[in-house]
Structure 1
Amino acid sequence: MDTDPLMARARLLWESLAGVPVSFAAAGGPAVVTAPASALCPPGWVGIVLLGDAAVVTAPTDGVAGAIRRALAGVPAPSLTDPGAMARAWPVAEVLGPATLAYLSADDFHPSRPGGAEADRLPAGHGDLLRLLASVSEEDAGECGLDEITSPAFVVRDGAAVVAAAGYRDWPGDTAHLCVLTAPHVRGRGLARQVASAATAHALAAGCLPQWRARPAASRGVARALGFRELGTQLSVRGTQSPTIS
């Protein structure tokens, strides 16, 4: 049994998001359950979350759950969120991820020490945030999730314009899902770390578990600089209409 309190809290979160009773088990392969309302993936997809050496897998139907259970038998745990390994084991039509899952305890937090002024604070949904979102690509806007935050937004301006912002969305289990965005023309200046540090400090002060879910290497680097630990990965896959397992 894993005695790391950060890992234990992260696992409890994702077990609750499955929508049906399930638990991470280190032995005997991934725990595969039928969960049509799972929050591990989009509706109708298969969701896989690997934390440490154990995984939880949700499937939309009993038939898909059985097929996945057979397909993944004997697949090493580290390969469960590898899109290539998944495609070799089961007929996959579409993939989302993998995304790295990182978490932070208050004792491990390394706040930013900006040389300039502290980040300003704006309410969620403020027009200046919307203008920042509108200034980046559709992919960047969708990836950051800044339009869904429930916390205040912590921002840095260049003149009147907001060029970096961070906040978090309240998730179950007192989890704070961090959302960060920096305008392309000011990236590489440490602004993401500055605003993310302010949002993370706010989450910790509220007693929340900060969560950082990311795919880009740069985003993962910001999280590590703040003290986040990468504990696992998440992958979502959509199967073909009539999957067959050889």
Structure 2
Amino acid sequence: MTSPLPEARRLWEELAGLTGRFPPRDGATVVVAAASRLCPPGWIGAVTLGGTALVTAPDARTAARVREALRGRPAEAAVDAALYAGRLSVTEVLGPATLAYASPEGFRPASAAAAAAVEHVPAGHPSLRALERAAGPDDAGEAALDDITSPAFVLREDGEPVAAAGYRLWPRRTAHLSVLTAPAARGRGLARTVASAAVAHALAADLLPQWRARPPASRRVAAALGFEELGAQLSLRPGEERSA
């Protein structure tokens, strides 16, 4: 089975601005990259993949503090927000979220019967907005169906959308998945059904499906579809610099 790890690393190196590479062995590379897309502007962004880490900082002083915090630590420590507390003032944290990837060989699709019920609609379709209203702003924001560039794959009950999935095309032909289920319809396998349709669509286009998740339920859906967790992502907003 072809591992998605090398291509996943190349993706995140490109998002870092091509200013740094994952180290060849366990450990972390810390680089200054003000335009890094590993995190919001001005933040620290950390990604671990396959036992190595790549971290971007907005300036040299912050990068130096990050290196001090990570010195002698395993790569996985780069996505431990608590580790930075002794070296940096952190005012906001996003994550950590796991990063999982699916290969054509490892993909485990939903049953043909379940897939037959999935409706394909264009991105931005009104049914997606209706589902987002039902899910509430927090879950809708996490799913980010507004951002998809693929068709949306939707399940309905009594004419109302209860689950939907799609993906946004990222650099290096990566399909970043978005999945959302109405609260009253959760726990019934609907997320797996719509996500399966989105993943199948991505693989048919020779894309690399990527699943980023924090909630355990979302990670379970990804695992059921054959996604392999290869690492994690963390973003930190640094505050005023602390004295040494």
TM-score (norm 1): 0.94
**Matched residues, number:** 243
Counterpart of 2:61 in structure 1 is: 63
Q: Does the alignment pair 1:25 with 2:23?
A: yes
Partner AA of 1:168 in structure 2: Y
Structure 1 residues 32-181: aligned runs within 5 Å: 32-113=30-111, 115-116=113-114, 117-181=116-180
Q: Does the alignment pair 1:205 with 2:204?
A: yes
Counterpart of 1:229 in structure 2 is: 228
1:140 match: secondary structure: helix
| Compared CA separation, residues 215 and 28, structure 1 to 2 (3 A) | closer
Counterpart of 1:184 in structure 2 is: 183
Q: CA deviation at 1:103?
A: 0.2
Q: CA deviation at 1:76?
A: 2.1
Q: CA deviation at 1:20?
A: 3.2
Q: CA deviation at 1:48?
A: 0.2
For the aligned residues, what is the CA RMSD?
1.7
Q: CA deviation at 1:85?
A: 2.3
Q: CA deviation at 1:159?
A: 1.4
Q: CA deviation at 1:147?
A: 0.8
1:151 match: secondary structure: coil
Q: CA deviation at 1:241?
A: 1.4
Q: CA deviation at 1:21?
A: 2.4
How many Å separate the matches in 2 of 1:186 and 1:133?
13
Q: CA deviation at 1:239?
A: 1.4
Asked if 2 retains the 8 angstrom alpha-carbon contact of 1:72 and 1:89, the reply is no
How many Å separate the matches in 1 of 2:25 and 2:147?
37
1:65 match: secondary structure: helix
2:79 match: secondary structure: coil
2:150 match: secondary structure: coil
Partner AA of 1:74 in structure 2: G
The Cα offsets for residues 66-99 of structure 1, whole Å up to 9 and x where unpaired, read as 2212222112222221222232453322111000
1:64 match: secondary structure: helix
Partner AA of 2:65 in structure 1: A
2:172 match: secondary structure: coil
How many Å separate the matches in 2 of 1:212 and 1:44?
25
Structure 2, unaligned runs of 5 or more: none
Q: CA deviation at 1:114?
A: 6.0
1:43 match: secondary structure: coil
Query: Quick one: which of 7, 10, 21 aligns to 1:9?
Result: 7
2:203 match: secondary structure: helix
How many Å separate the matches in 2 of 1:94 and 1:166?
29
TM-score (norm 2): 0.95
Asked if 2 retains the 8 angstrom alpha-carbon contact of 1:34 and 1:62, the reply is yes
The Cα offsets for residues 10-45 of structure 1, whole Å up to 9 and x where unpaired, read as 000000000132110044731111111111001110
Partner AA of 2:46 in structure 1: I
